[in-house]
């Protein structure tokens, strides 16, 4: 089959944090698909067709992209951050597995991008310097009980935790419930970072502790990073701070 589908990670927001490989794939595409907010970040080019969709239309969007590629089109599917982290790459392969047998013969490539957790961590030092994990607080695709089970297991095991999808208008209570779940497990002094719109013009970074972390500091553009009992805070002369998690663990 002559078509191609490239799943592209746009990075966290700033154009200079998008990889040259991703930029080249976007420029070469005949068709661009993606959630309308992310697609708006891609410059318009003459001759390209754009197919914006709602945020919750992942599987139908993936099937549309595969059908276009099967027709011989050069298709780029865009995701924010890295397309393999709570994003479109998984949806594309789910659609391939469940869809037309011919789709398995398509040229499908996944191009990595800088994930929000790496962009956010770099802003304040090295909080991901030791073992860490990423969890989504959304219960759209998994039960809330599973979210809490995994959150508890990660904190108990000593992982730094990066929380994606911390809350939305439909579920404004979940981040507060997550903090309540963690407080009996981790010290009140555990560092918490709220990183909103990292690398964009309206970027906002707020440092707190688990004891006083306020869920109102977050929205759907926020990455919430929760340290461990070992994560260290280094005060800076300007009133800010660095965070880092030591690479060693005491026996």
What's the pLDDT at 251?
A: 63
What's the pLDDT at 103?
A: 97
What's the pLDDT at 8?
A: 98
What's the pLDDT at 1?
A: 61
Which among 127, 124, 112, 128 has a CA at the least distance from the CA of 17?
A: 112
Tokens of 158: 């000593």
What's the pLDDT at 250?
A: 72
| 219 and 137 Cβ atoms separated by less than 8 Å | no
Q: How distant, in Å, are the alpha carbons of 9, 28, 79, 181, 200 from that of 85?
A: 10, 24, 9, 24, 20
Q: For residue 66, what are the contacts with CB-CB under 8 A and spacing of at least 6?
A: 5, 92, 95, 96, 99, 100, 103, 106
Q: Does domain 117-244 have CATH number 3.30.1370.60?
A: no
Locate the domains of the chain by residue range. Answer: 4-114, 117-244
What's the pLDDT at 2?
A: 77
What's the pLDDT at 60?
A: 96
What's the pLDDT at 249?
A: 83
- Token look-up 């972390």 returns 213
What's the pLDDT at 48?
A: 97
The CATH classification number of 4-114 equals 3.40.1010.10
Residue 80: CB atoms within 10 A of its CB come to 23
Q: How far apart are the first and last CA of the chain?
A: 56
Distance between CA atoms of residues 17 and 105, nearest Å = 32
Extract the runs of DSSP E, i.e. beta strands, from the chain: 4-9, 31-35, 49-53, 74-79, 107-111, 125-126, 132-136, 160-164, 191-196, 204-209, 222-226, 232-235, 241-244
Distance between CA atoms of residues 248 and 232, nearest Å = 12
What's the pLDDT at 183?
A: 98
pLDDT tens-digit profile, the chain (251 residues): 679 999 999 999 999 999 999 999 999 999 999 999 999 999 999 999 999 998 878 999 999 999 999 999 999 999 999 999 999 999 999 999 999 999 999 999 999 999 999 999 999 999 999 999 999 999 988 999 999 999 999 999 999 999 999 988 888 999 999 999 999 999 999 999 999 999 999 999 999 999 999 999 999 899 999 999 999 999 999 999 999 999 988 76
What's the pLDDT at 5?
A: 98
What's the pLDDT at 154?
A: 98
Tokens of 204: 């906002």
């Amino acid at each position: 089959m002559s078509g191609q589908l490239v799943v592209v990670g746009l990075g966290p927001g700033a154009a200079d944090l998008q990889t040259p490989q991703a930029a080249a794939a976007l420029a070469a595409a005949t068709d661009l698909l993606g959630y309308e907010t992310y697609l708006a970040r891609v410059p318009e080019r003459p001759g390209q067709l754009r197919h914006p969709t709602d945020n919750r239309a992942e599987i139908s969007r993936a099937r549309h992209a595969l059908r276009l590629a099967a027709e011989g089109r050069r298709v780029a599917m865009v995701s924010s951050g890295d397309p393999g982290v709570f994003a479109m790459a998984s949806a594309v392969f789910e659609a391939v597995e469940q869809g037309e047998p011919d789709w398995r013969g398509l040229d499908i490539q996944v191009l990595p991008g800088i994930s929000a957790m790496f962009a956010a961590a770099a802003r304040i030092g090295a909080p991901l310097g030791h073992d860490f994990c990423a969890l989504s607080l959304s219960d759209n695709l998994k039960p809330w009980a599973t979210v809490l089970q995994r959150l508890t297991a990660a904190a108990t095991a000593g992982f730094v935790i990066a929380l994606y999808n911390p809350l939305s208008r439909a579920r404004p209570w979940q981040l507060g419930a997550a903090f309540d779940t963690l407080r009996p497990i981790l010290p009140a002094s555990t560092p918490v970072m709220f990183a909103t719109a990292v690398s964009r013009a309206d970027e906002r970074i707020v440092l707190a502790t688990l004891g006083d972390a306020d869920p109102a500091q977050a929205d759907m553009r926020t990455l919430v990073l929760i340290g461990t009992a070992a994560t260290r805070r280094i005060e800076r002369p300007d009133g800010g701070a660095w965070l880092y998690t030591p690479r060693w663990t005491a026996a």
